[in-house]
Amino acid sequence: MSAEAPHVKGGLGQSILRKEDARFIRGKGNYVDDIKLPGMLYLDITRSPYAHAKITAIRTEKALKVPGVLAVITGKDLAAANLAWMPTLMSDKQMVLPTDTVMYQAQEVAAVVADSRYAAADGAAAVEVDYEPLPVVTNPFKALEPGAPVIRTDRKEQSNHIWHWETGDKAGTEEAFRSAEVVVGQDLYIPRIHVSSMETCGCIAHMDSVSGRFTIYMTTQAPHAIRTVYALVTGLPEQNIRVVSPDIGGGFGGKVPVYPGYVLASVASIKTGHPVKWVEDRSENLQADSFARDYHIHAEVAARKDGTVTALKVKTLADHGYTDAAANPSKFPAGLFHIITGSYPFAKAFVEVDAAYTNKPPGGIAYRCSFRVTEAVYTIERMMDILAHRLKVDPAELRLKNFIPPDAFPYKSALGWTYDSGNYAGALKKAMEIIDYAGLRREQAEKRRRGELMGIGISSFTEIVGAGPSHTFDILGLKMFDSAEVRIHPTGKVIARFGTKSQGQGHETTYAQILAEELGIPADDIRVEEGDTDTAPYGLGTYASRSTPTAGAAASMAARKIREKAKKIAAHLLEVSPDDIEWKDYAFRVKGVPTKSKTMQDVAFAAYTNHPQGTEAGLEAVDYYDPPNMTYPFGSYICVVDIDKETGQVKVRRFVAVDDCGTIINPMIVDGQIHGGLTMGFAPALLEEIQYDENGNIHGGSFMEYLVPTAVETPHWETAKTVTPSPHHPIGAKGVGESATVGAPPAIANAVVDALQPYGVEHIDIPIHPWKVWQIIHAGAPKTG
Amino acid sequence: MAVSARPIAPAASLSTRSAPVVRIQVTVNGSPISAEVEPRTLLVHFLREVVGLTGTHIGCDTSHCGACTVHLDGKPVKSCTVLAVQANGRQVRTVEGLEVDGKLSAVQEAFVEAHGLQCGFCTPGMMMTATALLARNPNPTEPEVRDAIRGNLCRCTGYVNIVKAIQLAGKKMQANPTGPGGSP
Ligand code: FES
Ligand code: FES
């Protein structure tokens, strides 16, 4: 069989349909709550109505009388086993169950185990708890004031201040500000939001008391890391722990942390010897699982009169809730917030972040972005518009004037990141052309004369994803490499396993495409598996757009290792020296005689039936890929809004997204990722927010109040691409899952602020809901000029 | 650790042994199912845990997400907001009933072809709503589709491709009106 065709079926750049869909469209997905084990019990949780209170008594008698209830677990029970607290990812600690004090509303207080779901719920409702309310702090600024009630009295610091972190050239930045021709400054608050994946979190824990085998089916984005953490925390031998992450109904960062419910189900199984299922309700998910954002930012930009930016200064207060349970690489307590210089060549920059405890649930997870990159991009893209407004120049013009030019890459930013590749002006110009920017500005001028409110907003973002090089990136000491193990069977079919875990991104399809391209084997013949720590090679999981940059790269590297060996077998079959063989057009060919060739399938059969003496039989390889650098996807988005003056309602009329994620593996899937990301950028810009009143009562704790966008509000997204490959990734890909979540909010906010320019507005905090807009419109007559 | 434990009875999946139960008969995807349930049992729990059809999902506790959408006598309902006893003597169709004799319905085919799903969690409910829409309006406009699925949340896709999938399914059904999934 010769392979003359220049393409392999299902290779790179083809919009092949997804392999995983076959089960999902038939209702045959296998999510955690779909799994039912023999003898399985159910766990439900009693939660605190108070945000801060002493627990004076817990009475379990009534709960234990509920038919079907088998056990009640309290903090005292856990403390006896030294399990009342567990470590967080950021060297803090978190309660599994409290022994004496609750620190946020909806905190877990007791767990009830029963033989049915309904009995467990009845039991949880029947647990009686006496509380003595304590003073509540929900505002992080107030939490840091002298005399504020200390939330974490267990810490020797006896203060609500957690840490201070800073980076950059402080003195140089101050100097640049002193000599600046123009300085603009702004306070920006990015509120608490919640990922709200459509599947909530849950698990089935099963300790087999005879074999000592502990299996947990779990909604986790990082099964291997969980296995190791379980081994370290519980002392169970790691070979006896199996973590299975089955089909996951969306993750977006919310399924990275270990929640108390997982631990409680594990404890319950160890104690009862039965499998124990815990699946949270949506309201529990919104009220108690990790939040995202909650950054109070003050930013200042220094510039020359001609608009050239020179320096950036940012001071931030981060509200972490009652514990620092953020999911960040260990060295970066504020994540990668220092990507905040964005797409612009600031000569000097200085960033500082302080973190505070409040009586709120813990978090600081991503909401579909790479470790606080959204906060950074929102800040710099809002600031660029504020600068443009102050200098009375067009925001597109200001960006084009300042962009890091394409020939400056690799580019080292003032805060120390080395951007791999980019063509920022290329993306913005393309977006301007698609949307007819000049035409829109003319239309806007016309509408302003008629008193109508129309706005145009731009965001030209640079992301940092693909964590990460092991010298800089680890989680609890585990280096952030990722892995692929590839086996070619005698008939030329492939099974490949990965250390990552798809939650809807389509890895079963896209990894197969990478391998198809590298091996010359059709994607249909390649089976991809993830999520079972017994079979998959070790990896750190899927979040922060790291799967393609790390495990995707590992797929290429493993395939190339296989090609090295396969070449020798091909040479043996073709009776030439390996030096005379080249891999070209998806086959091994004799140099200069391209028709004399062997396909990978020919070689695979020979690897098991006719391998040359002196080589090992079989055809497989594993690769643990440690990326040399992060990848830096970028893009430019333009948003057009119309505002109804009577209601304050903002309507996104058009939204054009030009993305550059480097080499594209599957254009259909990339567009799908962008559509979803844009919607998760639109949501916090206009709708979503979790607030607390001064007593710590949550507002936004169910879908009644937490406004996940429906199809009706969501705009019709328009997408386009430029392609600037990453120079250091084996196939040039950069990762795409989160770009749009990161890039969209400032484009929308900028458009709304632009629309409201007649009212002299320079900034509105997100979410920009109609009430905020209406107040601005009705506060006074439009200012002219 | 002192966990109070009692002997474990054979696990009843939903009802507690001493609670009063009601016998119901429901036709699910054409098959008659007879079972005893507590009166408070939700239809979605009946389908998932008694009948064993786990394609119908649960995404919320406030009737907002639509992941649990099934057809009750041909009409889409949120099965988390219907009691199993209310389905007594009636016809229920779930996502598992869309494929007929090994042939996918037009809606199922179109969701794959238009990339109308990512994590797949909202997909069964979304497809049930779409199937009901197309039964009464085989050629919906984009605003009509968006309005019809406003009770079905999707966190992954941004809806663009779901809308395309539903319109594509309408075209497929018009081209082949006797295919599976054509009628509710
Ligand atoms: S489960 Fe959300 S509407 Fe039924
Ligand atoms: S595909 Fe994941 S929620 Fe819709």
pLDDT in tens, B119-128: 999 999 999 9
Q: Nearest CA of chain A to the CA of B20: how many Å?
A: 12
Tell me the average pLDDT of chain B: 90
User: Is pLDDT of A61 > 90?
Assistant: yes
Neighbours of A22 (CB within 10 A): 13
**What is the CATH T-level fold of the domain A291-408+422-467+629-779, as seen in this structure?**
Aldehyde Oxidoreductase; domain 4 (3.30.365)
- Give yes or no for residue A133 having a pLDDT over 90: yes
Q: Which amino acid is at A453?
A: L
Which ligand 2 atom lies nearest to the CA of residue A250?
2
Contacts of residue A637, defined as CB under 8 A and 6 or more positions apart, other chains included, come to: A431, A458, A459, A460, A461, A655, A656, A657, A658, A740, A743, A744, A747
**Quick one: average pLDDT of B106-120?**
98
How confident is the model over B10-18, as a mean pLDDT? 49
Ligand nearest to C-alpha A506: 2
CB contact under 8 A, A712 and B146: yes
The answer to whether the A21-28+482-625 and A32-134+200-248+255-288 domains have the same CATH topology is no
In a domain, B180, yes or no: no
Same domain, residue pair B7 and B69: yes
Distance B40 CA to ligand 1 centre (A): 16
Q: Are strands A478-479 and A474-475 parallel, antiparallel or unpaired?
A: antiparallel
Residue A724 CA from chain centroid, whole number: 23
pLDDT, position A736: 95
Q: What is the pLDDT of residue B180?
A: 64
- Average pLDDT across chain A, whole number: 96
SS3 at position A96: coil
Using CA atoms, how far apart are residues A659 and A639, in angstroms rounded to an integer? 14
Does residue B120 sit in the same domain as residue B79?
no
Residue A654 forms beta bridges with which residues?
A: A640
Q: How far apart are CA A159 and CA A520, in angstroms?
A: 61
Task: Say how many CA atoms lie within 13 Å of A675 toward its Cβ.
Answer: 29
User: Could you report the per-residue pLDDT of A237-256, keeping only the tens digit for each?
Assistant: 999 999 999 999 999 999 99
Q: Which two tokens stand for residue B57?
A: 């999902």
Q: Which of A138, A58, A158, A45 is nearest to A100 (CA)?
A: A58
CATH code of the domain in which B166 resides: 1.10.150.120
Backbone φ and ψ of A185, nearest 5° = -135, 155
A106 touches chain B (CB under 8 A): no
Q: Are residues B34 and B78 in the same domain?
A: yes
How far is A680 from chain B, CA to nearest CA, in Å?
A: 8
The mean pLDDT of A305-323, rounded to a whole number, is: 98
Q: Which residue is closest in CA terms to ligand 1's atom 3?
A: B63
Q: Is B48 a domain residue?
A: yes
pLDDT tens sequence across B33-54: 999 999 999 999 999 999 999 9
Do the Cβ atoms of A249 and B119 come within 8 Å? yes
Which CATH code fits A21-28+482-625? 3.30.365.10
Q: Given a cut of 80, is residue B11 above it in pLDDT? A: no
Q: What number is the average pLDDT over the span A572-590?
A: 97
- Kindly give, in sequence order, each residue whose CB lies less than 8 Å from that of residue A73, ignoring residues fewer than 6 positions away: A97, A110, A111, A112, A113, A264, A267, A268, B3
Average pLDDT of span B95-124: 98
Residue of higher predicted confidence among A186 and A544: A186
User: Residue A644, Cα to own-chain centre: how many angstroms?
Assistant: 34
CA distance A26 to B123: 9
The residue of chain A with its CA nearest to that of B19 is A67
The active-site residue out of A192, A227, A368, A546 is A368
A714 Cα–ligand 1 center, Å: 20
Structure tokens at A335: 């994540």
On whether the CB atoms of residues A378 and A340 are closer than 8 A, the answer is: no
Given an 8 Å threshold on Cβ–Cβ distance, is A716 in contact with B142?
Answer: yes
Distance from CA of A505 to the nearest CA of B (A): 6
CATH code of A32-134+200-248+255-288, in short, is: 3.90.1170.50
**Is A4 among the catalytic positions?**
no
Residue A39, chain B, CB below 8 Å: the answer is yes
Contacts of B98 in chain A (CB under 8 A): 25-26
HSE on the CB side for A426, CA within 13 Å? 14
Q: In Å, what is the CA distance from A506 to each residue of A17, A563, A672, A734?
A: 10, 25, 10, 16
Q: Which domain holds residue B54?
A: 3-12+19-94
Indicate yes or no: CB of B156 within 8 angstroms of CB of A504.
yes
Task: Name the domain boundary from B70, B94, B118.
Answer: B94
What is the residue-wise DSSP string for A496-525? EEESS--SSS-HHHHHHHHHHHHHT--GGG
A472 touches chain B (CB under 8 A): no
Per-residue pLDDT tens digits for A357-367 = 999 999 889 89
At A269, the amino acid letter reads: S
Residues B7 and B90 grouped into a single domain: yes
Q: How many domains does chain B have?
A: 2
User: Is the shortest distance between the CB of B66 and ligand 1 below 6 Å?
Assistant: yes
Residues B72 and B146 in one domain: no
H/E run at residue A172: helix A170-178
What pLDDT shows up at residue B177? Answer: 81
In a domain, B62, yes or no: yes
Measured CA to CA, the distance from residue B108 to residue B105 in angstroms comes to 5
How many CB atoms are closer than 10 A to CB A546?
28
Model confidence at A785, in pLDDT bands (50, 70, 90)?
very low
- The reply to whether A166 belongs to the active site is no
Best mutation target among A710, A714, A716, A718 (most B Cβ atoms within 10 Å) is A710
Residue A3 has pLDDT above 50, yes or no: no
Q: Which residue has the higher pLDDT, A245 or B181?
A: A245
Q: Do B13 and A116 touch (CB under 8 A)?
A: yes
Q: How close, in Å, is residue A391 to chain B by CA atoms?
A: 36
* B108 CA to centre of ligand 1 in angstroms: 21
Ligand 1 pocket residue status of B67, Cβ below 6 Å: yes
- A380, two tokens: 């710099």
Q: Which of A94, A107, A152, A369 is catalytic?
A: A369
Which ligand is the nearest neighbour of the Cα of A702?
A: 1
Asked if the Cβ–Cβ distance from B115 to A247 is below 8 Å, we say: no
Catalytic residue among A94, A107, A221, A673: A221
Same domain, B82 and B133: no
Split at pLDDT 50, 70, 90, the class of A610 is: very high
CA neighbor of A206 nearest in space, from A272, A115, A261, A269 = A269
- 3-state SS of chain B? CCCCCCCCCCCCCCCCCCCCCEEEEEEECCEEEEEEECCCCEHHHHHHHHHCCCCCCCCCCCCCCCCCEEEECCEEEEHHHCEHHHHCCCEEECHHHCCECCECCHHHHHHHHCCCCCCCCCHHHHHHHHHHHHHHCCCCCHHHHHHHCCCCCCCCCCCHHHHHHHHHHHHHHHHCCCCCCCCC
CB A381 within 8 A of CB A297: no
Residue B63 near ligand 1, beta carbon < 6 Å: yes
What are A329's two structure tokens?
Answer: 């690489």
User: How big is chain B, counted in residues?
Assistant: 184
**Strand (E) or helix (H) holding A175:** helix A170-178
For A440, residues 6+ apart whose C-beta sits below 8 A from its C-beta are A456, A640
Q: Which residues of A33-67 are buried (b: 16+ CB within 10 A; e: fewer)?
A: bbbeeeebbbbbbbbbebbbbebeebebeebbebb
Q: Whose CA is nearest to atom 4 of ligand 2?
A: B154
pLDDT tens by residue, A206-231: 999 999 999 999 999 999 999 999 99
B165 within some domain: yes
In the predicted structure, residue A638 carries a pLDDT above the cut 50: yes
- B163 and B88 part of one domain: no
Last residue of a domain, which of B41, B63, B94?
A: B94
Q: How far is the CA of A204 from the centre of ligand 2 (A)?
A: 22
Q: State whether B32 and B89 are in the same domain.
A: yes
Question: What are the angstrom distances between the C-alpha of A141 and each of A161, A292, A358?
Answer: 10, 18, 10
The alpha carbon of B180 and the centre of ligand 1 are apart by a number of angstroms equal to 26
Integer Cα distance of B46 and A552 in angstroms: 41
| Annotated catalytic residue A497 | no
Per-residue pLDDT at A432? 98
pLDDT bin (cut points 50, 70, 90) of residue B59 is very high
Using alpha carbons only, what angle is made at residue A715 by residues A714 and A719, rounded to the nearest 5 degrees? 125
> Is B68 inside a domain boundary?
yes
Q: Which of B54, B56, B155 is nearest residue A250 as measured by Cβ atoms? A: B155
The token pair that represents A95 in the structure block? 């309660």
User: Per-residue pLDDT averaged across A188-198, rounded?
Assistant: 97
CA distance A139 to A321: 10
Task: Verify cis geometry, omega within 30 degrees of 0, for the bond prior to A468.
Answer: yes
Order across the sheet with B91-93: list the strands.
Answer: B31-37, B22-28, B91-93, B69-72, B75-78
Q: Out of B94, B122, B157, pick the residue that ends a domain.
A: B94
Question: What pLDDT is stored for residue B5 in this prediction?
Answer: 38
Backbone angles phi, psi at A222, to 5 degrees: -140, 70
Confidence band (pLDDT; 50, 70, 90) for A781? low
Determine the average pLDDT of the residues in A30-47.
98
Query: pLDDT at position B2, please?
Result: 37
Helix (H) or strand (E) holding A427: helix A424-435
Residue B154 resides in a domain: yes
From CA A660, how far away is CA A426, in angstroms rounded?
10
Question: Which residues have C-beta within 8 Å of that of residue A754, sequence separation ≥ 6?
Answer: A385, A395, A455, A456, A457
User: B56 and B113 share a domain?
Assistant: no
B65 C-alpha vs ligand 1 centroid, how far in Å?
Answer: 5
The token pair at A45 is 């949780």
Closest ligand (CA of A252): 2
Query: What's the pLDDT tens digit per position in A523-550?
Result: 999 999 999 999 999 999 999 899 999 9
Q: Are residues B88 and B111 in the same domain?
A: no
Closest CA in chain B for residue A84: B1
Q: What is the 3-state secondary structure (H, E, C) of A364-425?
A: EECCCCCCCHHHHHHHHHHHHHHHHHHHCCCHHHHHHHHCCCHHHCCEECCCCCEECCCCHH
Q: At residue B184, does pLDDT exceed 50?
A: no
CA-based radius of gyration for chain A: 28
The verdict on B8 and B86 lying in the same domain is yes
The three state secondary structure string of A22-77 is HHHCCCCCCEHHHCCCCCCEEEEEEECCCCCEEEEEEECHHHHHCCCEEEEEEHHH
- Ligand 2 atom at minimal distance to the Cα of residue B162: 4
The whole-number pLDDT of residue B14 equals: 52
Q: Is the pLDDT confidence value at B9 over 60?
A: no
The DSSP-derived string for A591-611 is: TTEEEEEE-HHHHHHHHHHSP
Q: Which residues contact A338 (CB under 8 A, 6 or more apart)?
A: A167, A168, A349, A351, A376, A415, A416, A417
Indicate if A201 belongs to the active site: no
Question: Where in chain A are the domains?
Answer: 21-28+482-625, 32-134+200-248+255-288, 291-408+422-467+629-779
Looking at residues A327-341, what average pLDDT do you find? 95
Query: What is the CATH number for B84?
Result: 3.10.20.30
Do B90 and B116 fall within a single domain? no
pLDDT band at A5 (very low <50, low <70, confident <90, very high): low
Residue A172 CB burial class (10 angstroms; 0-12, 13-18, ≥19): middle
